[in-house]
Structure 1
Amino acid sequence: MVRIHPLDPLYDRDGHETGRYSLRIEFDAVMKVNRRKTRHEIHKKAAEMLEVVFKKQKDVDEVEIVAVIPQRNPNENAIGMVIKMKMNRTIAEKVNWKTFKPNNLAKILEAYWVHPSLISE
């Protein structure tokens, strides 16, 4: 499931709205057979969403994407947020989305966080 939050206005240094916006997207990810595959699938879906948003939403200057694994692990702990990333329009416009490899996403993002349980492997 994908949840798109309302656009948040961006402000200049004086606190005035710029007419530009920030968008937050959350989506449910699925734990795959291994952590590397899980990260790859999340990066692939995020790259697809980033490409579409920056091409179609000309007034959006930054996008934050949060991948959530909603199910519980065998110990009955909720897994929750596993990856959080942020990209701005300046970076997005430099990307050749036709040849871009999702595994390189973390290298070009403005901000990137991954839950420790997905780091190893």
Structure 2
Amino acid sequence: MKRQAYTAKEVMSSGPYSHAIDSGEYIYLSGQTAKNSLTLEKQNLTIQEQTEACFMNINRILNETGLTEANVVKANVFLTSMKHFEAMNEVYKTKFTAPYPARTCVAVVELPLGADIEIEVVAKR
């Protein structure tokens, strides 16, 4: 299988990875943090602002693939603390409609670029 990669403008990669890989029926997006945005200038963001920024980056990448949030079938959310869970959910629930994508949410010790949240998604054509 030949991998087709997508790169979104205004989104940076913080390592050697593609923003998204097209596997045919499914598009796999790399995890996004607020700090992956090339246009976001504010440094000390609330968890709600960071969640919004994650989705802004995800939408930019989905746009490059010709898809939208409506195509998302699975999301993985990584938080540096479960104390952020409710505040993250307040933003998260506005990004999808029922039936919501399947989701995993876990707490991790640390995330790249000093982020408090990272979100990765899988979308289906």
Q: Same fold (TM over 0.5)?
A: no
Structure (1/2) with the larger strand percentage: 1
- Superposition TM-score tier, normalisation by shorter sequence: 0.3 to 0.5
Computing the radius of gyration from Cα coordinates, the structure with the larger value is: 1
TM-score (norm 2): 0.35
The alignment's TM-score, normalised by the length of structure 1, stands at: 0.36
Greater relative contact order structure (CA < 8 Å, 6+ sep): 2
